[in-house]
Chain A
């Protein structure tokens, strides 16, 4: 609570917290007071159940014991959720500290309430609950949200770092703590090597993703993101496997000595357990992908298939003593790609949200168990052990990061900089995983379990609070780009343009794969897997599936809101604004820069922003929609213009001017722009060349065709409107093409409305717009296009 007090909270947070606190308190009060009455009630019930008729039917009875565990668990989750709401109502807080801080605090609060009210039997986590119910959702979530492609591109480094890093940490911490235990002064003589190693293995389960959200906005580079993500993903699996093997050894050790053969067997087992898990995961992934191929008529079942098969893979692997964690991870990774293309949009959303929800519930519960066990009497505080644990955790993480990356950098095309390595070192936050493993140590084998739990808790608190809160500033400090914040508007704009340009050219260059294996797999995937696993009626490319995912309704809503906000301001007339060169105050400039920074499109990223506890609407996805829709709209504008020009405008001087217009000019990209030019043609510069239409439409028509099903009228329009391709590009007599010969070609086929054969005036062609644009062109158009598109009319008047 002390930390909480330091942080500025808005009143709302307090309200929420108080409310939840009261709920919680009330429940335990209730619990205490009803202990005896419930007992009596039960007796009455049993009595009633036996042969005697009920003597008296009590009007109001209370049976708390019956519901106690789910009741309390529900309250905990609610409490955590309310706390989260409060956390996110405050804008600054989420960027200051990882959300696990909050969860731990809530856990501590619950623990305090339980301790304070002397609650007799709070629900406790045991081994089977953790491994069967709490762990799988967490792992599934991180596996499912992993960006597949960058992961496999960096697979070598990730395996090297996550695998060896975990082992190095486990053995390093274990062995060095063992040495410490040999010092008689510390009173740790009875902690033997195996126990130390086991402790080391559970300490090596780091949870770096928890802090990812903290420095997300600092725009970590993709590779760094992937290393952190990959570590989080694989690290759990590896440390759990190690943990289980060491537990087995410890059990064995109780009865007999361990021989070298056993150690070798243990190593072999480590590999078998890992590979076997992955194998089962992949198999189940393919099965579920295959099944979702046939669910088009019963799409409500799709999420179920995904979840059940993932869980099944986990269970099957566990049955065979293989690593369930790796199995479920592999399953999620395998099926994701295919399932996402197969299932409907709504199922896709459901899967995403449900997965996030389950994992965050699991994690909340673990943190609450942690809080409950933090505040209590079951601690053993040994300064030496705890301090050395803390120190060794940091030292070994540093060693493993710098050594392993030093080696892997030699094989990488793009090595990790020292800064990256520092960030990776610093993100070694321990989380729910370590605690659970420590908490679940069997007391029979580990007489000093309390010591281990205490040390683990200290490490978790230290890393989550101190490192978690300081990692954001650290990243920002290391990130030199952020230092020169004062940029002029020009710089701001040009920098973003260059970023987009660079990203675009990168896309043109494509990603050069470093691995022959990946190429091979890609071919195999295309040739066989996709044919088997993905529905027939789907277009083959992932691009199309992107378009498919762009739901029309959402899109319309989005653009409409854009229209509303922008039509609230009336656009001043052309003449007024061009001549105005008023001086702007610094505040205006500041606000402009602000507008620019907030509203300029972000450069595309392949690793989507990831928050462990929340599923934000991906800005990139929204942005992609917006850009696509704007392109479509502006294209529609250009279509209209293409129609209105040849018929509406008398082909006179303007066309001659147009001829002088250099053909070499690159075709203007934004179709908005042409509309804008159109409004501008009283000015000196550019005349909208009608040929724009013809040069644009061949390519556009194909794009439209790919966007196909939503805009059928448009599509057929383009088919109809596709003019002959070459030929008249440099043809001086294109006027004829457009004016006469082109007329027949360019004329849209009458679609829904019978379009009059003769368009004489602009007004008519303007009115025609809604006809072939269907509802979209009239409703979807962003405000500024809306204003501009009517400008020919305005100018005539």
Chain B
């Protein structure tokens, strides 16, 4: 893991002007906040369409003496997250989590361009030695896009939010399934296999995944037969490929909710 680069953070919430500096509203992450006076302005400036997110006029220049207390820089981040409320609703993350994710997002975005490129993710050392590193990175860039903005980043990570029992109970059945439902988690894993996005894991795709995950000691021949066997085992309709339903069925005994949840993403 690479320690995040130290770089000058926007100095101080005070720099945002009096309208943005209302300490009470930002410190407690839990309190529910309606869109305050500052939010629409934010949304207008940094809406989802905006590809390049300007770094709060001149704040980047340097830290002010005495102005950048830890709490100060923290709350200023919260202020800069675009579309906090809709993101929260969509992903179910708490505000504190979003704030931390935003910190992380900015730390990953080395050059401060406001979005992440593949390169940014590839700079994460541990991912470089993850056998599935490239596929994981690719899953952050759906539809072949080259830029990952913060909502997209959070949306991917939302798949890994632990399932909350209560939340599950109160959920309105009419609403779409939350991103962290069992099926969505499974789907996320499934698309790591399904490279051509045809909704099926072909024998070939299975073999490719195996190649990535198995050490060099295993011969190609063995891998092939393992791939054959794996497909056979899950394939119920005999089309020589594993559909998503078959995939889900083969894992029905597994505790996906636990396996695909990251604790820190509460």
Binding site for B on A (CB under 8 A): 413-414, 484, 488-491, 493-512, 516, 519, 522-523, 526-527, 541-543, 546, 559, 562, 565-566, 568-569, 571-572, 577-578, 580-581, 584, 588-589, 592, 595-596, 599-601, 604, 623-624, 626-628, 630-631, 661-670, 672-673, 676-677, 680, 683, 685-686, 698-699, 702-703, 726, 729, 782-784, 787
Binds A, one of B35-43, B163-171, B218-226: B218-226
Q: How long is the Cα–Cα vector from A501 to B73 in the complex, in angstroms?
A: 32
C-alpha gap A581/B235 in the complex (Å)? 12
> Which residues of A sit under 8 angstroms from B188, Cβ to Cβ?
501
Contact with A along B186-223 (1 / 0, CB 8 A): 00110111011100001110011111111111111111
A623 to chain B, nearest CB (A): 7
**Cα-based distance from A138 to B253 in the complex (angstroms):** 46
Q: Which residues of B contact A509 (CB under 8 A)?
A: 101, 104, 157, 262, 264-265
Pick the 10 closest A-B CB pairs, nearest first. A669-B134, A562-B216, A543-B125, A666-B138, A669-B135, A624-B129, A504-B136, A784-B220, A507-B126, A490-B250
Taking CB atoms, residues of chain A closer than 8 Å to B156 are 505
Cross-chain contact A599 with B133 (CB below 8 angstroms) = no
Q: Which residue of A lies closest to B213 (CB)?
A: A600
Determine the chain A residues whose CB is within 8 A of the CB of B195 once the complex forms. Answer: 665-666, 668, 673, 686
CB of A666 within 8 A of CB of B229, answer no
Collect the chain B residues with CB atoms within 8 Å of residue A627's CB: 129-131, 133
Report the bound CA distance from A601 to B211 in whole Å: 11
- Contact partners of A595 in chain B: CB under 8 A: 214, 218, 222, 226
User: 17 pairs across A/B with beta carbons < 8 Å?
Assistant: A490-B234, A490-B251, A494-B189, A500-B132, A502-B160, A508-B108, A508-B157, A510-B4, A510-B104, A512-B100, A542-B3, A569-B219, A670-B134, A680-B204, A703-B128, A729-B146, A784-B219
B168 to chain A, nearest CB (A): 20
Interface band, chain B: 35 or more
Evaluate contact between A628 and B221: CB separation under 8 angstroms.
no
Alpha-carbon distance A499/B130, docked complex (angstroms): 11
Q: How far is the CA of A743 from the CA of B43 in the complex (A)?
A: 45
Q: List A contacts of B143 (CB < 8 A).
A: 663-664
Chain A residues, CB < 8 A from B4: 510
Identify the interface centre among A493, A588, A699: most chain B CB within 10 Å of its CB.
A493
Residue of B nearest to A563 (CB): B216
Please determine whether B214 and A601 come into contact, CB atoms closer than 8 angstroms. Answer: yes
Looking at the assembled complex, report how far the CB atom of B235 sits from the nearest CB atom of chain A, in whole angstroms.
10
Is B239 among interface residues, defined by CB-CB distance under 8 A?
Answer: no
Interface status of B142 (Cβ within 8 A of chain A): yes
When A495-B254, A541-B2 are in contact, do A500 and B233 touch as well, CB less than 8 Å?
A: no
Alpha-carbon distance between A214 and B86 when the two chains are bound, in angstroms: 50
Residues of A within 8 A of B104 (CB): 508-510, 512
Contact with A505, one of B157, B197, B230, B233 (Cβ below 8 angstroms): B157
Per-residue contact bits, chain B 73-112, to A (CB 8 Å; 1 contact, 0 not): 0000000000000000000000000001100100110000
Report yes or no: A596 in contact with B196, Cβ–Cβ below 8 A: no
In the complex, B19 has a CB within 8 A of chain A? no
Give the shortest distance, in Å, between A631 (CB) and chain B (any CB): 8
Cα A452 to Cα B138 with chains together (Å): 64
Contact A562 B134 (CB under 8 A): no
Choice from A546, A628, A672 contacting B212 with Cβ under 8 Å: A672
B45 at the interface (CB under 8 A from A): no
Cβ–Cβ < 8 Å partners of B250 in chain A: 488, 490-491, 494
Give the residues in chain B near A683, CB-CB below 8 Å.
204
Distance in angstroms between the alpha carbons of A568 and B219 in the assembled complex: 9
Q: Is the CB of A501 within 8 A of B189?
A: yes
Render B233-256 as a binary contact track against A, CB cut-off 8 A, 1 for contact: 110000000000001001101101
Contact A665 B196 (CB under 8 A): yes
- Is the beta-carbon distance between B130 and A599 smaller than 8 angstroms? no
**Given A497-B192, A504-B130, is A699 in contact with B122 using a C-beta cutoff of 8 Å?**
yes
Assess whether B15 is interfacial by the CB under 8 Å rule. no
**B107 contacts which of A510, A662, A680 (Cβ < 8 Å)?**
A510
CB distance from B129 to the nearest CB of A (A): 4
In the assembled complex, the Cα of A511 lies from the Cα of B3 at a distance in Å of: 10
A390 to chain B, nearest CB (A): 38
Q: Is the CB of A500 within 8 A of B251?
A: no
Nearest opposing residue in chain B for A664, CB measure: B143
Measured in the bound complex, the distance between the Cα atoms of B43 and A404 in whole Å is 48
Residues of chain A within 8 A (CB-CB) of B232 are 581, 584
Q: How far is the CA of A502 from the CA of B265 in the complex (A)?
A: 12
B125/A626 in contact, CB under 8 A: no
Among B2, B142, B215, B218, which residue has the most Cβ atoms of chain A within 10 A? Answer: B215
- The answer for the CA separation of A662 and B195 in the assembled complex, in Å, is 11
Which chain A positions have C-beta within 8 A of B150?
none
Which residue of B119, B224, B251 contacts A577 across the interface (Cβ within 8 Å)?
A: B224
User: Are B226 and A484 neighbours in the complex by a CB distance under 8 Å?
Assistant: no
Query: Distance in Å from the Cβ of A715 to the closest Cβ of chain B?
Result: 16
Chain A: CB-nearest residue to B258 = A481
The verdict on B16 contacting chain A, using a C-beta distance below 8 Å, is: no
B137 interfacial contact with A, CB 8 Å: yes
**Residues of chain B within 8 A of A673, CB atoms compared:** 195, 208, 211-212
Residues of B within 8 A of A661 (CB): 196
Known A-B contacts A542-B3, A592-B229, A782-B216; the reply to A569 vs B221 at CB < 8 A is yes
Inside 8 A of A523's CB, which chain B residues have their CB?
6
- Chain A residues with Cβ below 8 Å from B128 are 543, 628, 631, 703
User: What is the distance, in angstroms, from A253's C-beta to the closest C-beta of chain B?
Assistant: 50
In whole angstroms, how far apart are the Cα atoms of A600 and B215 in the complex? 6
Measured between beta carbons, the chain B residues less than 8 angstroms from A624 are 129
A-side contacts of B225, CB under 8 Å = 584, 588, 592
A726/B132 in contact, CB under 8 A: no
Do A491 and B213 form a contact, CB below 8 Å, given A501-B192, A510-B104, A527-B6?
Answer: no
